[in-house]
């Protein structure tokens, strides 16, 4: 009997380590880690390319110094084409057409149409960006077309005159997309002596609005 008890005791000494290996101790609790703050996306500054070509067009309102020494506002339209040599310098060609009526106290009204064709340098002092300021100086010709209806037995007549003209001004473009933009505002002052070189005060003021389309890349 004592031998049997001793045999079971030895067996227990060998089995206990094996059971301990089959049932490992539960892992110790780990300290919770602090949540990491979300990283903000890096903001990339948008750059605007310098287009090789630009066309623009829209509404314009030009003043006209008439023969009765009054100033007449003449609505119409304009169109321009630009070729950019550098980021800040281009060459612009512009055409304009406006019309209006000059009223006289004792004579029939005179219908007047003004056309200008000019070209010159266009400057972008800050380059091309979301809002692009620009300035230009243009030289060319002005065409004055007039017509008067028949009056008191006199037949109607029409005439025209071509003179030299110049214009200086500038404005702001708002770039909607890479190609399309809006001409927010443009102001110009010009001169075309349709009434002759000896008549003073023939300067004209002009405001314009429109759209801009660009293509190519400088």
Domains and CATH numbers, the chain: 53-215 (2.40.160.20)
**Which pLDDT value is given to residue 22?**
47
8 A C-beta contact, residue 156 and residue 174: no
Mean pLDDT of the chain: 84
**Which pLDDT value is given to residue 8?**
44
At 38-91, the pLDDT tens digits run 666 666 566 678 999 999 999 999 999 888 788 899 999 999 999 999 999 999
CA distance 183 to 82: 14
Positive or negative: CA dihedral 10, 11, 14, 19: negative
When pLDDT is averaged across residues 79-107 and rounded to a whole number, the result is 94
Q: Is the pLDDT of residue 9 over 60?
A: no
CA distances from 37 to 34, 40 (A): 9, 9
Backbone angles phi, psi at 14, to 5 degrees: -80, -35
Cα torsion 64, 149, 76, 79 to 10°: value is -100
Q: How far apart are the first and last CA of the chain?
A: 108
Backbone angles phi, psi at 5, to 5 degrees: -65, -40
**Which pLDDT value is given to residue 149?**
80
> Which residue in 144, 145, 146 sits closest to 163, CA to CA?
144
The share of the chain scoring above pLDDT 70, in percent, equals: 78
Paired strand residues for 82:
54, 92
CA geometry: angle at 50 spanning 47 and 55, to 5°?
A: 125
Number of C-beta neighbours around residue 94 at 10 A: 23
Q: Is the pLDDT of residue 17 over 70?
A: no
pTM: 0.75
CA distance 151 to 69: 22
Residue 147 host element (H or E) = strand 131-148
What contacts 58, CB < 8 A, 6 or more positions away? 77, 78, 183, 208, 209, 210, 211
Greater pLDDT, 17 or 98: 98
């Amino acid at each position: 009997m004592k031998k049997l008890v001793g045999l079971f005791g030895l067996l227990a000494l060998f089995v206990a380590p094996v059971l301990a290996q089959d049932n490992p101790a539960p892992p110790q609790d780990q300290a919770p880690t602090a949540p990491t703050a979300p990283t903000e996306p890096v903001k990339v500054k948008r750059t605007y390319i310098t287009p090789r070509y630009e066309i623009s067009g829209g509404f314009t309102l030009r003043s006209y110094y008439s023969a009765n020494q009054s100033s007449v506002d003449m609505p119409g339209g304009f169109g321009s084409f630009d070729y950019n040599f550098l980021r800040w310098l281009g060459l612009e060609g512009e055409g304009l057409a406006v019309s209006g009526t000059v009223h006289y106290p004792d004579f029939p009204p005179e219908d007047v149409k003004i056309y200008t064709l000019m070209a010159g340098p266009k400057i972008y002092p800050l380059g091309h960006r979301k809002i692009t300021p620009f300035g230009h100086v243009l030289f060319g010709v002005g065409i004055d077309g007039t017509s008067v209806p028949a009056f008191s037995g006199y037949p109607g007549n029409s005439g025209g005159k071509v003179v030299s003209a110049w214009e200086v001004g500038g404005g702001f473009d708002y770039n909607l997309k890479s190609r399309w933009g809006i001409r927010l505002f443009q102001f110009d002052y010009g001169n075309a002596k349709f009434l002759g070189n000896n008549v003073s005060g023939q300067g004209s003021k002009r405001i314009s609005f429109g759209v801009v389309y660009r293509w190519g890349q400088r």
